[in-house]
Amino acid sequence: MEVGVLKDKEDSEPLENNKKHRTGIQKLFYISNISRPYISSAVGRLHRRVDSPAKKNLNAVKRIGQYSKRTADFELLLLACKDAKLIGYMDANWAEDQKDRKSTSCYAFFNGGEVITWMSRKQSIAASSSTEAEYISVAQACQEVWLHKLLEDFKINEAKPTIMYEDN
């Protein structure tokens, strides 16, 4: 998605009928949750304008759709490896949304260098500092305890604590 698409709402005329925008966002949400983690942040940000989108928002939805179509043959591979370790990376931005000053959290967990789960979501509360926004992101990522059970089910015993990286 182009930089600044959501910054200046007044720059673009509103859509009279947002059915195409809603349909496009629904399809992109499905794709991002199933197999395209790298578009989930852009799709989440565009979803915030689903009630009153502008023409440039619809253009951004179309652009992401075209990108997804061009990269349809790309695959997520889970390769077997001996020393597979569960590692998490998380981050948050502080007060990105200019309307309600809420931040966006994101995380990704890797096992043996391959991504196995990811999330990008607007936080439910407004953080009063960047540190608090990062803390909320870490707390959300730490709730992914089911990953240890999943690895156990696959006979990959994860005896050590999960390594988690955060930039604050």
In the predicted model, residues of the chain with pLDDT beneath 50 are none
Query: For 8-33, what is each residue's pLDDT tens digit?
Result: 555 567 777 888 888 998 999 888 87
Q: What gap in Å lies between CA 153 and CA 147, rounded to an integer?
A: 10
- Locate tokens 């043959």: which residue? 73
Q: What is the pLDDT of residue 144?
A: 82
- What DSSP string describes 53-95? -BHHHHHHHHHHHHHHHHTTT--------TT--EEEEEEEESS
Whole-prediction pTM value?
Answer: 0.64
Q: What is the pLDDT of residue 51?
A: 80
Give domain limits for the chain.
9-70, 86-166
* Ordered strands of the 114-122 beta sheet: 114-122, 104-111, 86-93, 163-166
Q: Check: CB of residue 70 under 8 Å from CB of residue 91.
A: no
Question: Degrees (nearest 5) of the Cα angle 87, 45, 123?
Answer: 60
CATH number assigned to the domain covering 86-166:
3.30.420.10
